[in-house]
Amino acid sequence: MNNKFVLVGGVVVVLGVLFMTVVVWVAAIGAAKGERSNLQAAETSPETAASSTTPQEKQEDNLQAAETSPETTTSPTSQEKQEAPGDAASEVTCAVDQACDLGVSSVTVTSVQQTPTVKTLGETLEGNFVVVEFDYTYGGNAPVDVDQPTFRLTDQDGNTYSLNSKATIYYGNSNDRSLVYETVQPGVTTPGTAIFQVAPEAAGFTLLVVDLVSPQENKSARIPL
């Protein structure tokens, strides 16, 4: 009788050891699968995907951001402030090819062209465009991100035109003159572009310029083109 109890007890012990071995083995397999999944996720992380973005994909992203930027969704009061930044006392008049001091930063218009087409990466835009190329020098002490230039264009009849986001972004990316959703460095001159679509008979243009970083805190400028 005692021998039977000993035999049964031994079987129970063996089964217990086997059960614990199976549990440890299953847990080890699960941990290995988890590590493999984490490794695969890291290999396809957004940082890796972002590094493969093409110039055309970048300009599409910038255009989408421009279409939903605060400038297109602000209240009429805010838009009026953007169209006429600063007051008369803080406004200066500059000329093409002249460095225009806005306070902290400066803008120099280097080229002006009126054209019926704007050629970009893979697309030619048609219409009546005024293409303004400029250089921007940020006078701060640290890198800063900029949005769309809040420049305006007026003609001799008093009409005011806003920036054509699509043409500006596409042309800037195609010609290495993009200052839309870019980072500017202190003291470094960065090339930019502002393109406006105007009426066919429009003439006698003046560019209304504000600082790209702090338009309300610095001077504005009028630049006859």
Q: What is the pLDDT along the chain (225 residues), one digit of tens a residue?
A: 555 544 445 555 556 556 666 555 556 565 555 555 554 544 544 444 444 555 555 555 555 555 544 443 333 333 443 444 444 458 999 999 999 999 999 999 999 999 999 987 778 999 999 999 999 999 999 999 998 888 999 999 999 999 999 999 999 999 999 899 999 999 999 999 999 999 999 999 999 999 999 888 899 999 999
Strand ranges of the sheet holding 100-101, from the earlier edge strand across to the other edge: 100-101, 106-120, 123-137, 189-197
Q: Which two tokens stand for residue 62?
A: 């910038």
Domain spanning 55-224: CATH 2.60.40.1240: yes
Calpha distance 153→163 (Å, rounded): 8
pLDDT in the model for residue 90: 84
pTM of the model: 0.63
Whole-Å CA distances, 71 to 100, 129, 189, 212: 24, 21, 25, 13
Q: Where are the domains positioned within the chain?
A: 2-50, 55-224
* Spatial CA neighbour of 142 closest among 99, 188, 211: 188
The pLDDT value given to residue 122:
76
Mode of pairing for the β-strands spanning 152-154 and 91-93? unpaired
pLDDT for the residue numbered 118: 92
- For residue 65, what pLDDT is reported? 55
Q: What is the pLDDT of residue 93?
A: 96
d(CA 192, CA 195): 10
